[in-house]
Structure 1
């Protein structure tokens, strides 16, 4: 039986719904503006679309356990998350799970992908369930249902290294566009995993900046 590590970034995507162009470093401001968590909703949509029995390892509370229980899954909690979580909790949880599981599935955006990369590098496959304001890395499925389809087919899928990208949100809020290739993670080869979005080549094109601004203002979680 495949063993799955499962991590939710509880604040992913909150900034987009209140025009913050991202949530990195802006959680309290997003809450002040009335943002509500969107990643648990996306996580539960993913979990409810699963069909094959797996062994699940997750974090306590809102970082995984609550969504898993609501979806009717039996889970083993291997990381105790604090009431107020931070990027370090994603890193610690991923590092804790890595020796126990065959793949880590995380719910978040590019920032979460970078945190997982920092923790486990490319030592095991990962899969992103899209819930952030920005997802330009090539490790995300297109939708939560697509992620479930991939997890349902793990035994049949090859693995390859794919790009992890991140946009400097603070700079973008000031009108500057900066994107970096952060590294590579291994993920499944499947038609429902997005390709790396072509942001490095086009970063100097004004029209592209405008289209990106529209995308980052859209919370994309419905």
Structure 2
């Protein structure tokens, strides 16, 4: 078994043995769903036309919900990395401890998150994006050092990283095609893949 496949197996095992790791990922989903409910069902707009009444969502609330969910999402992403790290080194994940750790470095981590998001858009630099965030959290480095170490790590372990990224992309595409439960399954998979990335880095750094 390749190291990448092994790390995915280890990541899944760590996540399911410590289900608290999944909890942070729920928070932005709940925020987004709550604002969507308000936008559509509570503060929706009614437009009167000759053909009848057309009900429209409150786009301001939808935008605000997406913005807040995105901000919270980047914070919990680092929380999940730290909790997965704790689980993998047998320290026992603690959501409160990891959250406090992230908030103590919120400035540098915001910069890391912005740069990682830009890198991810290019697709080809998606591995750099993923491991930059992992390294920034695990090693407590700033964005410059994290990117430099991510490139070095990927260069030394290119084969395993390619296998990992291919699996991530293929799973994301497949789950995206599944109606209704696809998004829930992707939510579970994203946490597992985060833990797997942490494990792969710890093994091969």
* The two structures share one fold, judged by TM-score above 0.5: no
TM-score (norm 2): 0.31
- The structure with higher relative contact order (CA 8 Å, sep 6+) is 2
TM-score (norm 1): 0.30
